[in-house]
Structure 1
Amino acid sequence: MKFVSYQHPELGERAGYLQHDHVLDLALAQGHAQEQGRCLSQRPLPVTMAGILELEGEGLQAARAIAEYTANTQVASLPFALPLERAQLLAPVPRPRSFRDFYAFEEHVKTARGRRGLEMVPEWYDFPVFYFSNHNAFVGTDALVERPAYTKWLDFELEIACVIGKTGRDIKASDAAQHIAGFAILNDWSARDVQREEVKVGLGPAKGKDFATSMGPYLLTLDELEDVRDGDRWNLEMTAKVNGQELSRGNFRTIYFSFADLIARASEGVTLYPGDVIGSGTVGTGCILELGTDVHRWLEPGDLVEMEIERLGVLRNTVKEEGGSGCAILS
């Protein structure tokens, strides 16, 4: 199932799902199903994705039942269906409870450090590491992303995010999949000149990552990926383009620490909650810092960054100058 959050022209932020190139509003679809005598549940479904996730398995199960109700209908005739090209998609979870971003692809770490003349840190192989980033700075596909005035070295990062769908603490790696609501594409925008100075202090990154994180276009549930599953990894091609030029290509299955490992580490002595977001870190070749500015300059206003991951769709954003005007580019 493909879950989305979108901006309803009259009702504000809403949870929905994709079906046949339309966005269907979950709460409105439930009401319609009840009117038709096709929905046994009388408990109103929350109108936002955060609310649905907070119900844990019950919310996602109810959403699936609603999707089954509309599966064999003429979607365009439904009053709560909006053509995808007219929908303003937000990040699947617009305001996550928290955001932990890991550093889990060995190729990225080796290459990025090598470009700075540094060897691998031996401790990197001992356990997955992460930092907390700004969970209030998430945007969705087609949103404009401002280049902060304090940076000239703006970069993208091609990643995968998982959204937690079930509360857990001290989660075993073998049980981690039960806590994943789904996967989405993630772009961890980075101010590299600021980040370079911050990490010298021994903390951070902070302002180097503080301003924006893109996620979307939808949240895909794990049952949609069973045929490409390889143990606790998934065989999914990942690419990134700038202004139509492919710069990055990798595969999700090359991740050194699996998401099971990341969830186990994140939940050690700490409770994870529905709506928490966990990022994979950058896939090999997945950013300009790793590729080098001889391959591509730092990002500038007007640049279109498109990230595509098999099954997960395309996440696109255009860079603009901070405080500048402009309209989002809709596909």
Structure 2
Amino acid sequence: MKLATLKDGTRDGQLIVVSRDLQTAALADAIVGTLQRALDDWTFYAPQLRDLYDALNQARARNTFAFDAKACMAPLPRAFQWADASSYVNHVELVRRARGAEMPPEFRTDPLMYQGGSDDFIGAKDDIVCASEEYGIDFEAEVAVITGDVPMGARPDQALKSIRLVTLVNDVSLRELIPAELAKGFGFFHSKPATSFAPIAATPDELGGDWREGRVHRPMIVHWNGKKVGQPDAGVDMVFHFGQLIAHAAKTRNLRAGTIVGSGTVSNKDAKRGYCCIAEKRCLEMIEHGAPQTAYMKYGDTVKIDMFDEAGKSIFGSIEQAVAPLEAGAHRASSSQL
């Protein structure tokens, strides 16, 4: 089934069920008000939401309306935890090669992961608001999963069973701020602004045979300023599958329902498949030419991230964003209007 969250003036929005073709939707308020509440008691709410989804696809649901991704928040507008990994080791290797460093062998056996801000996710059509172009604004196209409760010490096979939903992510990075932050030894903070998500979060069965071995085996399609720059397959070269990533996150802590785990930037060894972040393009240029030639995003630039099924239909709806300055009025006030 496919779920989304409608903007309704509150922090957590209104849960809606969306048809498989993303054309129609129905409010889920008679069942459960928000996605987080549904995740908290998934075994109770999921069958009811599934019934509504089936009725919607069979044109039997009442009070339906046209689905509009622009009216949606992130599926989970805020989450208890957002842990992003770097499971496409090719991406990490390129970054290190570009600066003349060897990749430690343990990077292939022990996942890299950081804990990002999860109190202010943004919707698929919301602007990427940044205070300065000098920060090195970059997109990062990723796959993410949303889990139920995961006990501390869960094995990868157990962790896979905790996955409730799958979606796409634009994990925006401010590249010029990263070196100084990492040099402090405490990791990312200012260099990782609000993360944006596709409008749809889908149960894994919606992917059919393209969901296997804890990976999504579909191309990630990325356009920058209207030009296609990447189409790497998300199932290829993903060294750690989502069960392993979730188990890694749960090594020393319980993960509660609504935890989001990201794959990291999708990257293939085959450079002809393009790129899912500008930094990777710049690394390839440094390796080949000795210096980067491609600039980071500027105000007014756009990025579009999508994934299609074999029939050419968007699975999660597209992320389509423009970069905007803080002073342009695009800054979103909190729901309390501070």
2:168 paired with 1:178:
no
TM-score by length of 2: 0.85
For structure 2, the residue ranges without an aligned partner over 5 or more in a row are: 268-274, 286-291, 309-314, 333-338
Q: 1:290 & 1:12 partners in 2: Cα distance?
A: 34
Q: CA deviation at 1:69?
A: 3.3
Note the alpha carbon deviations across 1:105-128, whole angstroms, 9 max, x for none: 011111122122221122212311
In the alignment, which residue of structure 1 is the partner of 2:206? 224
> Hey, what does 1:324 align to over in structure 2?
328
Find the aligned partners of 1:283 and 1:12 in 2 and give their Cα distance. Answer: 28
Q: Quick check: 130-139 or 114-123, which moved more?
A: 114-123
Map residues 30-109 of structure 1 onto 2, 5 A cutoff: 30=30, 45-73=31-59, 78-79=62-63, 81-85=64-68, 88-109=71-92
Structure 1 match to 2:266 = 283
- In the other structure, the counterpart of 1:302 is 300
Distance 1:95 1:11, change over 3 A: closer
The structure with the greater share of residues assigned to strand is 1
CA distance in 2, matches of 1:287, 1:87: 24
| Counterpart for residue 38 of structure 1 | none
The answer on 1:312 being equivalent to 2:316 is yes
Match of 1:25 among 4, 22, 27: 27
Contact conserved, 2:204 with 2:211, CA < 8 A, in 1? no
Go from structure 1 to structure 2 and tell me whether the alpha carbon gap of 1:12 and 1:135 turns closer, same or farther (over 3 Å shift).
closer
CA drift of 1:11 comes to 11
Q: Does 1:4 align with 2:4?
A: yes
Range with bigger deviation, 192-201 or 286-295: 286-295
Count of matched residue pairs? 308
The aligned counterpart of 1:13 is 13
Q: Deviations over 1:19-63 (max 9, x none)?
A: 251221112xx4xxxxxxxxxxxxxx3201111111122222221
Change (3 A) 1:58 1:156: same
Query: Structure 1 residues 256, 145: CA separation in 2 closer, same or farther (over 3 Å shift)?
Result: same
Query: Aligned pair in 2 of structure 1 residues 295, 161: CA closer, same or farther (>3 Å)?
Result: farther
Distance 2:28 2:330 in 1: 31
Deviation at 1:280, TM superposition (A): 0.6
Query: Aligned pair in 2 of structure 1 residues 295, 6: CA closer, same or farther (>3 Å)?
Result: farther
SS of equivalent residue, structure 2 residue 244:
helix
User: CA–CA distance in 2 between the matches of 1:265 and 1:152?
Assistant: 31
Aligned-residue offset at 1:233: 2.5
Structure 2 contact 136–296 (Cα < 8 Å) conserved: yes
**What amino acid sits opposite 1:223 in the alignment?**
D
Residue 2 of structure 1 contacts residue 18 of structure 1 at CA under 8 Å; is this kept in 2? yes
Mapped contact 2:2–2:53 kept (Cα < 8 A): no
Is the partner of 2:186 in helix, strand or coil? coil
How far off is 1:200 after superposition? 1.6
User: Which segments of 5 or more consecutive residues in structure 1 lack a partner in the other structure?
Assistant: 31-44
Give me the whole-angstrom Cα distance separating, in 1, the residues matched to 2:242 and 2:188: 22
Distance 1:70 1:229, change over 3 A: closer
8 A Cα contact 2:26 2:56, kept in partner:
no
Q: Does 1:146 align with 2:132?
A: no
- The secondary structure found in structure 2 opposite 1:272 is coil
What corresponds to 1:159 in structure 2?
142
Contact 1:156 1:288 in 2 (8 A): yes
**Equivalents in 2 of 1:155, 1:10: separation in Å?**
29
CA RMSD of aligned residues (A): 2.3
What letter corresponds to residue 71 of structure 1 in structure 2? N
Q: Cα–Cα, structure 1 residues 113 and 318, in superposed 2: closer, same or farther, change >3 Å?
A: same
1-side partners of 2:10 and 2:92: how far apart?
45
Partner of 1:259: 242
Q: Relative to structure 1, is the Cα distance of residues 47 and 230 closer, same or farther in structure 2, using a 3 angstrom cutoff?
A: closer
Equivalent residues in 2 for 1:209-220, closer than 5 Å: 209=192, 211-220=193-202
